[in-house]
Amino acid sequence: MSNASSSSRRAFLATAAAGAAHVWIPRPLKGYSTAEVIAMTPVTPMGSGVSKWDLDTPALCVDLDKLDANIAKMQAALRRNKLDSRPHAKTHKCAAIAKLQMSAGAIGICAAKLSEAEAMVAQGVDKVCMTTGNLSPNKIRRAMQLRKQAKDFIQAVDYEPNAHDLSAAAKAAGVVADVVIDVAVGTRSGIPAGEGALALAKLVDRLPNLRLRGMLSYDGGAQHINTFATRKERTLKNIEENARTFEAMKKAGLNTEIFSGGGTGTYNVQHLVPGFTDVQVGSYVFMDMQYLAIGGEDGNAVYTDFAPSLTVLATVVNNRFPGRLTTDAGAKALTLNVPHAGVIGEPGMDYNAGSDEFGTITFKAASQTYQMGDRLELIVPHCDPVVNLYDYIYGIRKDRVEVVWPVTARGHSQ
């Protein structure tokens, strides 16, 4: 166990003070160059016109009609409630989908990690709000470089010393950086609501090279609560103190143009929070088994507001044992999330992705007999980490590949 932060921070501050706000420069490695890394990846996606049933599997697919409808429906629903959308790219990690969201009227996108934000900006999606903070000297430098490229890049802060570091780095980079205060809902991340959060907002407002834009309050834990009534009640209760802090910021004359949070599970609740401006909706573009299970405002046990557009195609590789099938899509293709993947058209099947390379299906009854090589289409357990496993998403219309989208920020967890 080593603890390097204090010395690193001193080194960083020394560097920033000297005005040398360089980002880390790659030095020659014993490893490979980026060009060589690319050359070593011989997997080429299959192209437009191919039937989805002929794709090599496991294959990640999105039904474009459903995707388009989900984006349009969410945009319209939020507008009705006088809210904006600021969709979260942590779900799709895909610049092409972010662009569809922006075209539909989103005011920007969110990114969970710095490398995700960098990947989006590099593809021209430059209105990015990073919803977590950057603590290390190198990430702070990278964030300021990104701010130089993208004037609409906003970053979160939840810690006073970090605000000082950001301002120093912004000064060294010759920018004024846009900042939102991340105020906690629960205990995961963010500064607790109340006096401390207000003091942090005032500090950001005072610091010479930061520009306060408002406040984030994301209640991750509320998104998957079962039944709409319980979800609504908890969401509104959890955010009460945050809303009071937001009101106090407003009274203090601070800039409160942003009060952002919420997600696919609470998009139809957030307008009840006083002052709320925009919702960080993510999973609605794809849906998954987790969200299908949370129940809708209409009292339906299945959450049908948005259509499951994202699927994984798998191939049967063993059909020899009664009541049992093995497929080629295991944990490396579907993750270990629960509920298990749903086999489309086979409600009696349970799909266990517990092996790294293989899926194991057990069933008492199936709609047909399956042969070796047959394809199955699966609704994924939880869309965000599944997308993160794939280089490409096949965009499917009427069962044929229309487009292949790179998962721009795949693996960008830094």
Q: Interface residues for its own copies in 32-71 (CB under 8 A)?
A: 32, 34-49, 51, 53-54, 56-59
Query: Which residue's CB is nearer to its own copies, number 214 or number 263?
Result: 263
**HEC-encoded secondary structure of the chain:** CCCCHHHHHHHHHHHHHCCCCCCCCCCCCCCCCHHHHHHCCCCCCCCCCCEHHHCCCCEEEEEHHHHHHHHHHHHHHHHHCCCEECCEHHHHCCHHHHHHHHHCCCCCEEECCHHHHHHHHHCCCCCEEECCCCCCHHHHHHHHHHHHHCCCCEEEECCHHHHHHHHHHHHHHCCCEEEEEEECCCCCCCECCCHHHHHHHHHHHHCCCEEEEEEEECCHHHCCCCCHHHHHHHHHHHCHHHHHHHHHHHHCCCCCCEEEECCCCCCCCHHHCCCCCEECCCHHHCCCHHHHCCCCCCCCCCCCCCCCCEEEEEEEEECCCCCEEEECCCHHHHCCCCCCCEECCCCCEEEECCCCCCEEEEECCCCCCCCCCCEEEEECCCHHHHHCCCCEEEEEECCEEEEEEECCCCCCCC
* Binding to its own copies, residues 360-379 (CB under 8 A): 360, 367-368, 370-377
Judged by CB under 8 A, the chain residues 216 through 235 that form the site for its own copies are 220
Among positions 246, 291, 303, 390, the unique one binding its own copies when judged by CB under 8 A? 390
Nearest distance, CB of residue 79 and its own copies, angstroms: 28
Quick one: CA dihedral 63, 69, 74, 75, positive or negative? positive
Angle at CA 278, nearest 5°, toward 146 and 384? Answer: 65
Closer by beta carbon to its own copies, 152 or else 356: 356
Q: Which is nearer to its own copies, 38 or 299 (CB)?
A: 38
Minimal distance, residue 16 CB to its own copies, in Å: 15
- Report the residue number, 236 or 336, with the smaller CB distance to its own copies: 336
C-alpha distances in Å from residue 99, one per residue of 7, 92, 96, 295? 41, 12, 5, 29
Question: Minimum CB separation from its own copies for residue 169, in Å?
Answer: 14
Q: Which of 352, 357, 397, 400 binds its own copies (CB under 8 A)?
A: 357
C-alpha torsion sign, points 395, 264, 382, 122? positive
Residues of this chain, 158-197, that bind its own copies according to CB under 8 A: 158-159, 161-162, 187-192
> Measured from the CB of residue 317, what is the shortest distance to its own copies in angstroms?
6
User: Segment 92-151, which members bind its own copies (CB under 8 A)?
Assistant: 95-96, 112-115, 118-119, 122-123, 132-133, 135-136, 138-139, 142
Q: Site for its own copies (CB under 8 A): which residue of 63, 75, 89, 90?
A: 90
Q: Which of residues 260-289 bind its own copies (CB under 8 A)?
A: none
Q: How far is the CB of 98 from its own copies (least distance, A)?
A: 12
- Please select the residue that binds its own copies; options are 105, 331, 339, 400, rule is CB under 8 A: 331
Shortest reach from residue 298's CB to its own copies, in Å: 27
Q: Which of 82, 208, 299, 320 binds its own copies (CB under 8 A)?
A: 320
Q: Measured between alpha carbons, how far is residue 242 from residues 155, 216, 246, 249, 267 in Å?
A: 19, 9, 6, 10, 17
Nearer to its own copies, 5 or 300 (CB): 5
Contact region with its own copies (CB under 8 A), list: 198-206, 253-261, 302-310, 396-404: 396-404
Count of residues binding its own copies (CB under 8 A)? 123
Q: Residue 251 Cβ, how far from its own copies at the closest point, in Å?
A: 25
Shortest CB 113 distance to its own copies, Å: 7
Complex with its own copies: residue 2 or 365, whichever CB lies closer = 2
Binding map of its own copies across residues 1-30, x = CB under 8 A, - = no contact: xxxxxx-xx--------------x-xxxxx
Of 77-85, 99-107, 233-241, 390-398, which segment contacts its own copies by CB under 8 A? 390-398
> Least CB distance from residue 51 to its own copies, whole Å?
7
